[in-house]
Amino acid sequence: MNVGYDGKRAFQNKTGLGNYIRSLIAILSQHYPENQYTLFAPKKTELFDVNPFKDVTAIFPKTLTGKSFPGWWRRYGMIKAIEKSNVDIYHGVSNELPLHIGRTGVKTVVTIHDIIFERYPETYNFDERYVHRWKVKQACKVADAVIAISQQTKADLIDFYKVPEEKIFISYQSCNPIFQQTISAAEKALVKKRYSLPNEYFLFVSSIAPRKNLLLICKAMILLKDKMDIPLVVIGNGKKEKEEVKKIMLDNGIAERLILLNEMPPAKESNFTTAADFPAIYQQALALVYPSIFEGFGAPLLEALWSGLPVISSNTSSLPEVGGDAALYFSPTNHQLLAQHMWDVATNNVLAVGLKEKGFIQAQQFTTQKYADSLVSVYQHIL
């Protein structure tokens, strides 16, 4: 079986969907090496190298027009490339399928991560909502199978777009296998020195945007500022919201307790952009704090579970699907309860150890083998 993929984000996105597709390819190559995997991308970069994978190839624009206008190539030229490649299935991994993909005769799968733009339209402008809605509805209509990454996303597709339930398959993702490795003390010390990490810290991993709700952690830390001085390490970037977070911490006299790794010089190096240093950063934290208002899945929770890290998470959307009984939950509007959970994890070792043990058990629901099996079963179903 030769499966083609939308590879744009594998080569262009440093986080989020970029990590998702890079991990997906690595996992499928590991567990199903008998298949062939072909990435179609408008631009080649150093973010992803297919050469280490014997069963993975990448196809980029060859004509001057395609190279000069990558957006045009992805919308139109890629169809010709798909037709010539002899792929059996084309998998759109990020909520969309190429226009006119039906003309190729190739079977199609689309993964829908979320339709948050329908639940929280105020966080998107009108044009963004229109484009996202059109792409998702069109892809779900055309695709032979729709993969939802959680029960929450499946329910939303049925409720908002009336996608037939029998067409939707749930495939819980795993995470990059590097998070399953125990990092040596020497490597941890090296990473700690590289980023000037403190001895104790909470961890937040996500973009800094309103929905991700970093401001709530700041409010909890302000509530705790006279009880403990444990800082928050942030992996993620933002614009307006990041400045708001920095200001509120400064106004309350605890600006030094907010450590933004993306603003440090090492963030420009490959160990950060490829997430190679992230497992060592996770494994030295007290807990992951994830106050997101809504998620299609919540990959940082899974990365934390595999890393042996206690999880403190909001109780909304898909997050309890990922965290199970291995997390402490709070409403994404309740900074008082969040502060209590942070205090409890920092001061109660029995609680922290118990969360780590439960986390390892919960992580077994999301192994790379189960993830690969669920994807391949969908491929086989439509062939």
pLDDT tens, residue order, the chain (383 aa):
999 999 999 998 877 788 889 889 999 999 999 999 999 999 898 888 899 999 999 999 988 888 898 888 887 889 999 999 989 999 999 999 998 898 899 999 999 999 989 988 887 888 889 999 999 999 999 999 999 999 999 999 999 999 999 999 999 989 888 898 999 999 999 999 999 999 999 999 998 988 899 999 999 999 999 999 999 999 999 989 999 999 999 999 999 999 999 999 999 888 898 789 999 999 999 999 999 999 989 999 999 999 999 999 999 999 999 999 999 999 999 999 999 999 999 999 999 999 999 999 999 999 999 999 999 999 999 99
CATH superfamily, region 2-174+368-382: Glycogen Phosphorylase B; (3.40.50.2000)
State how far the alpha carbon of 244 is from the alpha carbons of 121, 217, 228, 262, in Å. 22, 13, 23, 16
Residue listed under structure tokens 């892809």: 139
What per-residue confidence (pLDDT) applies to 151? Answer: 93
**What single-letter amino acid sits at 224?**
L
CATH of 177-366, one of 3.30.2020.30, 3.30.9.60, 1.10.1200.10, 3.40.50.2000: 3.40.50.2000
Q: How many CB atoms lie within 10 A of CB 121?
A: 13
Q: Phi, psi (5° rounding) for residue 271?
A: -60, -25
172, two tokens = 């819980």
Residues of the chain with CATH 3.40.50.2000: 2-174+368-382, 177-366
Token pair listed for 286: 């007290």
- What are residue 205's phi and psi, to 5 degrees? -130, 110
Report d(CA 22, CA 158) in Å as an integer.
28
Q: Where are the alpha helices (H) located in 94-213, listed in sequence order?
A: 116-119, 126-142, 151-161, 185-194
Structural contact between residues 111 and 93, judged by C-beta atoms closer than 8 angstroms:
yes
pLDDT attached to residue 177: 83
**CA dist., res. 35 & res. 291, Å (int):** 39
Strands 311-314 and 89-92: unpaired
Predicted confidence at residue 138, as pLDDT, reads: 95
The answer to whether 331 touches 337, Cβ cutoff 8 Å, is yes
What pLDDT sits at residue 150? 92
